[in-house]
Amino acid sequence: MKKNIIYTLLFLLCSFSFSNAQTADDKKQITLAVTDILNGFQTKNGDLMNQYINPTYGVGVLFKSSGDLGFVLNEDVNFSMPLGYIQKAWNIKNQFPIQFEAAPAYDSGNKKWKKEGLSVQFNSNAVNDYADKFLEQYSIKDQEIFKINTDPKNVVCVTLAENTKEKAPINGLRFFMTKIDTKWFLTLIDVTEYDAE
């Protein structure tokens, strides 16, 4: 009996160590990518961001218009072209260190984040939650960009929660990264907290 308990503990310990090794590599990749993506938004440098966009899938933008959820797919980020709803997110400050924790909540009534900071949340199911909210006639779940995000283990939600003193339609930025093969890619930019109209 004692042998079984010891073997079980050893197995769990080894599994935990292996899981941490994977997470450490993921954290390293994600930290570099998040830094570059946010710097790309700050400096309006699409090339800096586009190295993290998979050419097969592109990058999607989730937004709301008149209360309805909308979606547009772009091949890449090009700041010389009109990017619609993304444009409001260009004025980020990006002054917080990365915290690997759950994304903070947004108070849409007061248009403020309940907690400021830069969070990276592993195992995010938010993309699936958004896909469930689209009207059925849009067949969003059939879009490749949503199919690659169905497994939460391969998705991280990055939230830069910034509250500005002036009246601004956008405070910070939220986006999703997806692990495809062994690399993390920017797959969706989420500006759904902010109604475009």
Q: What is the DSSP string of 107-121?
A: ETTTTEESS-EEEEE
- Counting residues of the chain whose pLDDT is more than 70, the rounded percentage is 78
Which tokens is 196 given?
């475009």
Determine the Cα–Cα distance for residues 129 and 152; give it in Å rounded to an integer: 11
Determine the Cα–Cα distance for residues 156 and 12; give it in Å rounded to an integer: 25
Determine the Cα–Cα distance for residues 39 and 25; give it in Å rounded to an integer: 21
For residue 31, CA distances in Å to 98, 100, 122, 137, 184 come to: 7, 10, 12, 37, 10
**pLDDT band of 17, cuts 50, 70, 90:** very low
Q: Which helix (H) or strand (E) holds 18?
A: helix 2-43
Domains of the chain listed by start with CATH number: 2-195 (3.10.450)
Model confidence over 41-54: pLDDT tens digits? 888 898 999 999 99
Residue with tokens 């592993």: 122
Determine the Cα–Cα distance for residues 196 and 182; give it in Å rounded to an integer: 35
How confident is the model at residue 194, as a pLDDT? 60
**pLDDT band of 13, cuts 50, 70, 90:** very low
Query: Over 80: is that where the pLDDT of 177 sits?
Result: yes
pTM of the model: 0.82
Nearest to 91, CA basis, from 158, 44, 59, 136: 44
Q: How far is CA 154 from the centre of its chain?
A: 11
- Residue pair 120/34 in contact (Cβ under 8 Å)? The answer is yes
Stretch among 49-53, 78-82, 138-142 having the lowest mean pLDDT = 78-82
Dihedral, 165, 88, 66, 64 alpha carbons, nearest 10: -110
Mean pLDDT value across the chain: 80
